[in-house]
Amino acid sequence: MRRVVFFSALLVAGISSIEAQPVPSLAAVYQPYFPIGAAVEPQTLQTHGDLLAAQVNSLVAENAMKWDHIHPRRGNDSSAYNFSGADAIVAFAQEHGMRVRGHTLIWHQQGPPMVFRGAGGQATRAEVLERMRDHITTLLTRYRGKVYAWDVVNEALADAGAWRTDSPWFQTAGADEDGDGIPDSSVKAFEYARSADPTAKLFYNDYGIEAGDKLERAYNLVKALKQKGLVDGVGIQGHWSIYTPDAGTVRAAIERFASLGVEVQITELDLSVYRWGDTSSLPELRPDLASRQAARYAALFEVFRKEAGKLTGVTFWGVADDETWLDSFPVAGRKDWPLLFGTDHQPKGAFWAVARW
Ligand code: G3I
């Protein structure tokens, strides 16, 4: 930790001697701990291919495996699917000896409305579950042995309250007919995934589950799924900021989930330089914020290394600041700088804080 402070102090002082050093591979540095991943679009393989090949040993599709991308047409024959983007990502990963996480099978977003439509208006529960089973079976069969882990259900929990009732999955197939306390739409997704590829690790993935009431609800959900033998891991997304949460909070969450006997991964890590709710815009990444970002990344990765036995992967939601979803969220067109590499693909202070400690 003292070395981290030292590096941060150097960065604050504007000393660039660290940046002049050869850039180490984060994947190699973290080899003794856990894989380092990045979310990519198919085009990122061209625009950021060298950086990815040098820095990460795990990939996840930012959008290409979501229902509306990979399964854009009605039905379940091959003409209903478009595997091109997902296949390109898997091929790149195989070529570079990287593993692949699958993201995501069942989510309230990016499911085409036709999935939930039937002859009489809304599709029946039986129709929706059949489409779900077909979709999951097709994907897990195609990528068996190539995708080692799947985010089977993404964000089923509401921020406040119990379940996300605005999800079309919940609305059409969420009724808890088996009385296990979990919407059947979620349980069925795990059952279909388990039987389609018993070798894949099945994850529940969500944001905001590192603290508070949502942590408790996620804990109970994963516990119930684990008792049924349906879940192997929990993904804490990690869309955080340079202000919150603190590393101790994240550590406690990792330990709490791990106490259930499941793997824990940080699946979508990025640290916005804006406070939650702040809608102002910065013209550039101010040095004081870059320094704060480096210090927070350092503290988080210190926890991640300590928890390496329980943490089986850390995936960034992007690779460099020129391509980040945060440029369109929560303020469309506002620049953010949440990752370890800058818009010029060069390592930021945050990179050095994570790579050297
Ligand atoms: O593919 C279409 C393209 O054809 C069209 O021309 C263009 C016009 O807007 O939109 C394209 O789709 C966009 C898609 O990203 C692919 O680029 C969608 O509008 C846009 O909404 C979508 O955003 C993605 C978002 O999920 C969807 O809600 C983000 O890139 C992606 O980073 C984000 O990722 C999610 C995780 O899956 C789950 N956790 C939260 C995370 C951030 O929201």
Nearest CA to ligand 1 atom 21: 110
Kindly report, residue by residue over 131-181, the tens digit of the pLDDT.
Answer: 999 999 999 999 999 999 999 999 999 999 899 999 999 999 999 999 999
For residue 72, report the distance from its CA to the centre of ligand 1, in Å.
15
Kindly give the number of the ligand 1 atom that is closest to the alpha carbon of 237.
39
C-beta 63 within 6 A of ligand 1: yes
C-beta 325 within 6 A of ligand 1: yes
Report the residue among 63, 66, 239 best suited for mutation to probe ligand 1: largest number of ligand atoms under 8 A from its CB: 63
Nearest CA to ligand 1 atom 38: 154
- How high is the pLDDT of residue 243? 98
pTM for the whole thing? 0.94
Kindly report, residue by residue over 314-340, the tens digit of the pLDDT.
Answer: 999 999 999 999 999 999 999 999 999
Kindly give the number of the ligand 1 atom that is closest to the alpha carbon of 109.
28
For residue 318, report the distance from its CA to the centre of ligand 1, in Å.
13
User: For every residue of the chain, which 3-state class applies, written as one string?
Assistant: CHHHHHHHHHHHCCCCCCCCCCCCCHHHHCCCCCCEEEEECCCHHHHCHHHHHHHCCEEEECCCCCHHHHCCCCCCCHHHCCCHHHHHHHHHHHHCCCEEEEEEEEECCCCCHHHHEECCEECCHHHHHHHHHHHHHHHHHHCCCCCCEEEEEECCECCCCCECCCCHHHHHHCCCCCCCCCCHHHHHHHHHHHHHCCCCEEEEEECCCCCHHHHHHHHHHHHHHHHCCCCCEEEECCEEECCCCCHHHHHHHHHHHHCCCCEEEEEEEEEECCCCCCCCCCCCCCHHHHHHHHHHHHHHHHHHHHCCCCEEEEEECCCECCCCHHHCCCCCCCCCCCCCECCCCCECHHHHHHHCC
C-beta 237 within 6 A of ligand 1: yes
Nearest CA to ligand 1 atom 22: 63
Mind telling me the catalytic residues?
Answer: 155, 268
Kindly give the number of the ligand 1 atom that is closest to the alpha carbon of 104.
37
C-beta 151 within 6 A of ligand 1: no
C-beta 205 within 6 A of ligand 1: no
For residue 64, report the distance from its CA to the centre of ligand 1, in Å.
10
Kindly give the number of the ligand 1 atom that is closest to the alpha carbon of 103.
37
Nearest CA to ligand 1 atom 4: 69
- How high is the pLDDT of residue 120? 83
pLDDT along the chain (357 residues), means of 10: 38 49 95 98 98 98 98 96 98 98 96 92 96 98 98 97 95 96 97 98 98 98 98 98 98 98 99 97 98 98 98 98 98 98 98 97
